Every structure is written in C-alpha cells, then in structure tokens.
A and B are shown apart, each in its own frame.
Chain A
C-alpha cells in the first residue's frame, strides 16, 4: 500500500497535521509564531550538518533546533535586547551559517528548493516511521505537560503559585517545537513549517469557544489542508508543500466568513 508515492505523501501529511494541530494552538496562544520561524530557519544548518556528517536529517535538525532554542533562552536572560531582535538575530545568522556551510560542501548536490519548500512526494517509508513514531511521542509528552503548560499560558503567576512548575513545562514545550520541525522539515520545508503550525490553529480560533474545541478544529483543519492541498497539487501539477499551505489559507478565509455570518445572525 505504501508503494505508491502519493499514498506515502498522504500518510506523512496526515501524521504531521495531527501533531501540528495542538502544537499550533500553543504557538498562537503563547505568541510564538516568530519563535517557530527562528527554529525552522536554523533547521537549514541542521540539514547541512546531517549531509556533511552523514547523520539522519530529522535527528540532526532536532539537535540543532534544540540548541538554538536553548541559546535563545540564555540570551533572553543575559541581554537587554527585546525578544524579537534576538529571534531575528538567531534566525538569520543560523540561516546564513547554514548557507555558508552548503558552499563548502560542493561535492554534494543540494536540492535547495526542496529544503526550503519541502518535497512531500519524495517521502520514504523510513520517513513515515520517523513522522508517526516521533509524532506519537510528541503528542504523548504534550499530553503529560498539558496542565502546567496550559495554566502558565493563561497566567504564569497562578501556575507558579499553585505549584505547577511552569518553567519546566516551557522548556519541554520548546523541545517539542524543535521535534515537530525536525520530523516535518522534509515534508513542508523550512519556510513553510510555521505556516502549517499557525494557519490551521488561527482558523480554529475563529470558530471555537473553548481550548479543547480549538485543538480539535485545528487538527481537522490541518488534515483537510493536507488532503485538499495534495489532491490539488496532483490535479494542477503544483508544488505540494505550498499547495498544502495555500489550502489551509483557503480554510482560514472560510472561517472568517463563518464569523461574519454568526454576527449577522446575532443582530
């Protein structure tokens, strides 16, 4: 059944969407959109290191992204620079260093476009295993830290005062962000991963009244985006990663229409 490249792409996309759904909600709630961007930019460095040292790509990206995330936390503590400046600094310098390293690796032929925008149609059975096992682990850990993470997202001091240890939850969540980027980089590419995290969750925010519903709609939105995007990329012969993101944008616009209608109904 996994012989067909299209089926593999579909299974990979579904696996990623199930994990980006809940994580994306936290990205929106905690205002981490640019944090996600920074981690995914740094992923390029991870990929180049994987090639030069013949590592597994997902593993290498996970290590580099986690290091960048920890560096960010340290920089936040030790400098007076605002958070967005630090994020920009890390994002662009790690991207630049990644590109410079690629220059040294002239003996390897790189598919830069594939790295930036992903190549879901080239997903192998091994990749599927990484996505589904890695994804299941991410969801399991997220479930374990849900209470302290969610409580500290609502209010840090309440969580700290009532003994939930929000700092630990935050650190673990950072690692989870690095992990989702690592397992999905091959699929949507480093420029579009954050889109996969943010857009379905943003769509869900428009139509949900409770956090649980938002997580559910975010997962459904991600799944629909993957299915819609992949089938249309087959139909119109467009790049698959961008097609998925475009499909999620389409769903987001639909969710806006829904809001307008419900306001009309109320009046």
Chain B
C-alpha cells in the first residue's frame, strides 16, 4: 500500500542494466499529484532509462517501482514511426484512448498545431511532431505525465509557451509530471523537485538546494549553478554549459 494517497509512482533504489552494464542504479524518487519532478544530468546519465523504469517499460529491474495509476501520458525522447503506416495526426491522437472530437481539437489547439490535424504524420517537421506528441499525451487528461525532453526541436518562443502550458496542465489537472529537460532556466522556474542524475542520484531536492550542492557544481560547472540560483535571469549561454557537460 502507498503511504500517501498523493503518490502516483515511486521508485525504490531502482536500477536497470543491459548487457552487464548499468544504465542507471539506486534511483529513489516519487512523483506526487500536482507536482513536477525534473530529472537533469549529462548525456548518458540514465534520465530516459529512469523514466522508462517509472513507466514500467523496463521490466527486469533492480529494486522496485510502485505505480498507482494507469492514466499515463508519455512523450518519449525518441520515437520512430514506421512510414508503412498511413497515419494522420488525428489517427495518432486516438492511439491509446478513444477521444471525442472536442477533446482532440482542444489539445491540438493548446499546443498550436490544430491546423495540422488532417496532415500525414510523416509530413510534419520535427518541432511540429513534438507539439503533436505533447498534445496526444495531455489530451487523455492523465494523472501522470512523463515528458522526456518534450520541447526538443521546438522554436524559441514555442518552447517558453509549451513549458508554461506544461505548468498550467500540472495545476489544472492536478497531475504529477516527471520531466526530463536540458533547459535549466525552465527547470528552475517550474519545478518542485530536482533529481540530478549521473548513473546514480548525485543529488536531489528543491531547485535552490540542488544549485548549492557541490556535486552538482562539479557536474555542470559554476555557470550552470548560477543559472539555477538566478533562474529569472535569462540569457542564451545554456548551450555552452551543455558543451561542458559532455566533457565530464
């Protein structure tokens, strides 16, 4: 039984290995209703793997995962759709749940792609497809949303709008969100809890706590730490800090 009715998914020292190599291990975290938990970390640190453990996609895991809801919306980081399928945006929206026309239109309007409704999925640009993926995930009014870099390839103004939308959805639907993002500004402005991964949980806590953490500074560099503590101060050097991440 869950100790707290608000908990949607809980990982206890969860880990996953493939071909005798740990992708991630010893991850404990929980996502509660109405809260946004963000995973950050360098490339290959196990963020997507952690999300897939939480979703139950990986079954042979170490530790345990307790999932208390089946109303899940998922935006995967990578999605390969076989174009032997004639699939329009409208068909894709009802992939895992039947929805009425109004619900579909509303979700597509929220992410700004209602005009693409009858287009073939294969004809969309990367950013457009990303907006459709997000629309599909939120349209079913899930209790748990798992968003793996949901705004990759989306233009700059769109990115801000979509993050605001995600925050709004979390408040309105009171759903829990597990978010993976590289955009530290956004992470800091909207997140309730940050988990910093590097093959294991290197540190976690509120955005401010994490910003002050020395391990976090070592992983992301001084600059990233400044962004965290002064997130309202927007400028465009996030990407240089990403470059530094790769060096680690």
On A, residues with C-beta under 8 Å from B are 28-29, 31, 147, 150-151, 153-155, 157-164, 205, 208-214
Residue of B70, B92, B95, B98 with highest tally of chain A CB at under 10 A = B95
B158 at the A interface (CB under 8 A): no
Which of B74, B84, B91, B97 contacts A161, CB < 8 Å? Answer: B74
| Closest chain A residue to B136, Cβ basis | A158
Contact (Cβ within 8 A) B88 A161: no
List of B residues within 8 angstroms of A155 by Cβ = 76, 79-81, 95
Contact (Cβ within 8 A) A161 B56: yes
Given A154-B81, A157-B57, A211-B85, check contact A163 B72 (CB 8 Å). Answer: yes
List of B residues within 8 angstroms of A160 by Cβ = 55-57
List of B residues within 8 angstroms of A208 by Cβ = 86
Which of A31, A151, A162, A211 contacts B72, CB < 8 Å? Answer: A162
A-B contacts, 20 listed (Cβ < 8 Å): A150-B95, A151-B96, A153-B82, A154-B92, A155-B79, A155-B95, A157-B52, A157-B74, A157-B79, A158-B96, A159-B96, A161-B57, A161-B72, A162-B72, A162-B140, A209-B86, A209-B88, A211-B86, A211-B87, A213-B86
| Closest chain A residue to B92, Cβ basis | A154
Give Cα distance in the complex from A48 to B55, angstroms. Answer: 47
Instruction: Report the minimum CB–CB distance from B137 to chain A (whole Å).
Output: 9
Interface of B is mostly: loop
Instruction: Report the minimum CB–CB distance from B173 to chain A (whole Å).
Output: 16
Give Cα distance in the complex from A188 to B60, angstroms. Answer: 44
Give Cα distance in the complex from A157 to B84, angstroms. Answer: 18
Given contacts A29-B85, A161-B55, 5 further A-B contacts (CB under 8 A): A155-B81, A157-B57, A158-B79, A158-B95, A210-B86
Give Cα distance in the complex from A163 to B95, angstroms. Answer: 12
